[in-house]
Chains A and B, each alone.
Chain A
């Protein structure tokens, strides 16, 4: 018998979790290590569980619900949904992260609920974030989430993988956000549908764990099921002191088979901007420099981490947010808020004129914390700029890195941050 070729990260994690020799294209029923829901999706999952006649979760230690998208509640309807989640936590023992704890995609890894080599699903499309931590994590709907909460299992089609390698080095003022925006522009919104992205190369190795999470977070914007990376010494160090689970890193084999392999020289990529109203409508910042902006946003599951606050604070230190701009900052978790206070970043940003809001999703999804007005342009570190995304169909959202947002709020126009790194 001819031995099969080596395996990708995705094939290895699915093999380990399904008890099969899993290869791309196989349908497997796999054990999941964790299941998560947020306040926009958990209430429907709880309803689906009730419809299944299920009153318990498979393992309360492996289920968490997070109030982050609309939190603290701005209206009675949301308050009622939050109550449903709290009651579910009491009745099943599942972990509840209540108002002020932060964004699900920061909390799940930060609290050590997943470790390298794990397989998890979340009722939120940006669950792919933990791929940066060598976790096969993917977004599912509420009914799939309910099935996983009930049984600890879910069915999957093992995806083919696309290998993306970054060579060279990032120029000062250019970040991992610029790399993933550039890739969205190159591949398009369905460039990786049904597939996993696997990121490699010296540029990825050089990035911090936080910077890597920004890339994996946006894998879904290319249609991908996951955005995976190897776990290296930095990854393992990041998990130290975060809970009791033991990492089980899964490296791809040298002879793994990829559907495609793409290589980019990061040295040639400058700051990138996704223009309204699509994430793949990307251009180099030079093409949109000078576009007036009325609101800036620093935060979200894409760029609300300590490193992002450090970058923004380094640009805004001793400077002021333009009087025509609202600059809204939302740390991705309570811990990040505390760390940013201790490091002085919050003081710097607030002194510069930033409005600090509760750890969570901030204004990203249009429920609260800064809905733009008609005709206004927003520059945001978030991952989506669809029409109406921030709650007003007549506003325009541009996406960029934390450095680009910080540079832009000073001048009330889209500004190349490299001027601060000369």
Chain B
């Protein structure tokens, strides 16, 4: 499936407190309501920018560092973020994203500017910067994570196999 949307670009070391602040995440289990605060510390307009037409969150190194909160990928999903593209990801966020079904893509994000139109074909492993007219190489998912994603995430994997079948 091809995903087409605009790039919204941020910097390095974006932590999960910035993706969803502790002052919100402890209040509720309602991700839809919490999503309006997604990325609020860095960009209070993030939700309003991304929600109507969807978007790619583009970042530098170590995206998702810090806390283990799974609310981080969940509020991005509920804000209509189609995928996160970054040079590198922090470990726990990367697992949480795959487990919850938020596509995460490692690539050279220097080739993407704010507002660029991007086209991502996850299955085919192709990321195209339509605005710049270039293809960007993406690092394939580790096989174990590709299998989880193919099953529809960890919950679906468990339902299908009754436990880990990796």
Contact = CB atoms under 8 A, between A and B. Distances in A.
Interface in B4-37: 13, 15, 17-18, 21-23, 25-29
A386 interface: yes
Interface residues on chain B, size class: 35 or more
Interface stretch (A47-55, A208-216, A266-274, A401-409): A47-55
B158 to A, nearest CB: 5
B91 A77 contact: no
A13 B101 CA distance: 30
B71 A150 contact: no
A77 B153 CA distance: 28
Contacts of A163: none
Contact of B15 (A40, A75, A77, A386): A386
Given A40-B22, A155-B144, A393-B41, A139 B92 contact: yes
B18 A386 contact: yes
Nearest to B97: A141
Nearest to A121: B68
B81 interface: no
B62 interface: yes
B17 A386 contact: yes
Contact of A81 (B22, B29, B159): B29
B76 interface: no
Contact of B70 (A143, A157, A189, A194): A143
B100 A143 contact: yes
A410 B127 CA distance: 57
A44 B163 CA distance: 19
A376 to B, nearest CB: 16
B51 interface: no
B18 A387 contact: yes
Interface residues of A, number: 57
A54 B164 CA distance: 14
A41 B70 contact: yes
A249 interface: no
Contacts of A367: 22-23, 26
A391 B22 contact: yes
B154 interface: yes
A48 B22 contact: no
B70 A69 contact: no
B79 interface: no
A387 B88 contact: no
Contact of A124 (B26, B68, B99, B159): B68
B88 A193 contact: yes
A157 B163 CA distance: 18
B78 interface: no
A78 B22 CA distance: 12
B23 A366 contact: yes
Interface string A152-164: 0111010000000
B166 interface: yes
Interface string B65-76: 111111100100
A298 B164 CA distance: 42
Interface of B: 13, 15, 17-18, 21-23, 25-29, 41, 61-62, 65-71, 74, 88, 90-92, 95-96, 99-100, 142, 144, 153-155, 158-159, 163-164, 166
Given A52-B158, A147-B158, 16 more contacts: A40-B71, A77-B26, A78-B26, A146-B155, A151-B164, A153-B164, A155-B164, A155-B166, A190-B90, A193-B88, A194-B91, A223-B91, A384-B66, A387-B17, A388-B21, A393-B41
